[in-house]
Amino acid sequence: MVTAERLLRFTRTERAAHWLVVVAFAAILLSGTQMPHTWDADQPAVDIHVGCAALLVAGLVLLLWRADGAALTRTGIQLATTEPGDADWLRGVPERLRTGSPPPPAGRFNAGQKLNARLSALGLAVLYATGLALLLAGRGLPQGPLHTLTTVAVCGLLSGHVFMAVLNPATRHALRGMTFGDVDRDWAKHHHPRWVAAVDREATVRRSDLEVDDGP
């Protein structure tokens, strides 16, 4: 619910895409732990592993095509775009961890979120490429070390993401944005002030346009 005290952070389509990735990747990871040391296409775990990977891609394509694809595209562009101050944000992480000083003003996503998203996307791309190579090579091929090492790296990135979203007191309020869509305005102004300012500017422009349309 969006009110004066709450701001819309993620649309239904964005939230659906996020939880699709969560559920599908969990199934892919769990089925991967049950696979034999050699890639055997006759193993049920391989069917689940490959099926969930295909379902993830198909689901994301369907959301882009039939749901609010513009919102997903906008979020992807924002996560991929480097803004002024991102480098300073990253360089200041050690100092902030040591002293607890506040971070520089951030937009909708801070530099840490962008870096995590980019590395996670790169890791998933490598997993899909190496997994497809294993699948096309046929049964009896040992599981590639690159596939395994990338899985470990992606799990490390996702563990950090889960910690910040669920356990860290300063940032776990953001989880509401990915479950119900909205976040507390005061929290957003503290962590993403440039984003809040942009949202307020857009709201002001819309109100002005409505006033002009309703004028005499």
Does the pTM exceed 0.75? Answer: yes
Query: How much is the pLDDT for 136?
Result: 83
Which residues lie closer than 8 Å to 64 by C-beta, 6 or more apart? 72, 73
Where does residue 106 rank: exposed (0-12), middle (13-18), buried (19+ CB within 10 A)? buried
pLDDT averaged over the chain?
A: 89
Decide if 208 is inside a domain: yes
pLDDT recorded at residue 134: 83
Structure tokens at 101: 């000083």
Confidence of residue 137 (pLDDT cuts 50, 70, 90): confident
Number of domains comprising the chain: 1
Higher pLDDT, 59 or 211: 59
In this structure, is residue 118 part of a structural domain?
yes
- Residue 43 within a domain: yes
Helices marked H in the chain — which ranges?
12-33, 44-66, 69-80, 86-91, 93-99, 111-137, 145-162, 175-179, 185-191, 193-213
Mean pLDDT is lowest, of 129-138, 140-149, 173-182, for 140-149
Whether 1 is covered by a domain: the verdict is no
**CATH assignment at residue 90:** 1.20.950.20
Which of 55-59, 63-67, 206-210 bottoms out in mean pLDDT, i.e. has the lowest? 206-210
Question: Residue 112 domain-assigned?
Answer: yes
Does 1 score more than 70 pLDDT? no
pLDDT tens column, 60-107: 999 999 999 999 999 999 999 999 899 999 999 999 989 888 889 999
Note down the domain range covering 180: 6-213
Q: Which long-range contacts (CB under 8 A, 24 or more apart) does 59-63 make?
A: 59/17, 59/20, 59/24, 60/17, 60/20, 60/21, 63/13, 63/16, 63/17, 63/20
